[in-house]
Amino acid sequence: GDTIELYTWDMDIENIWKDSIDKLKKMDELPDSVIEYDPGLWEHANMKLIREKFGSDFLLKYKKALNFYTEGYWKHARNMFRELIRDYQDGPSNYFVELMKENDFLPARDFTGTGQL
């Protein structure tokens, strides 16, 4: 039969994402003063790392969930927001679920699609 060459290498699985995780941990520290908006921020390596997780699939689902919320279809909104929490650990989605939960997932009769945050 034919002979093939096989190459292998040892790698430490624990350290594959170590650098990325270390970078994310450093980003948890928020400034305690006013900072000016920088439009170039979206191209910064740290921001790209954060945004990597939140692609078009996330954005489409979030938009749909938010539309359900503003239109008053809170049970549909709850289900979609819960998917986003499960799949992306999304904080804003959790906020809306908790907000709707206070009213048993039924909007008030005078609900206009907006509220105070």
Query: Can you give the pTM of this predicted structure?
Result: 0.60
For tokens 């499960």, the residue is: 86
Tell me the mean pLDDT in the region 31-56. Answer: 78
pLDDT in tens, 67-88: 999 999 999 999 999 999 999 8
Distance CA 94, CA 117 (A): 13
The encoded tokens of residue 66 equal: 């938010």
Q: What is the pLDDT of residue 27?
A: 55
Confidence of residue 117 (pLDDT cuts 50, 70, 90): low
Q: What is the pLDDT of residue 5?
A: 62
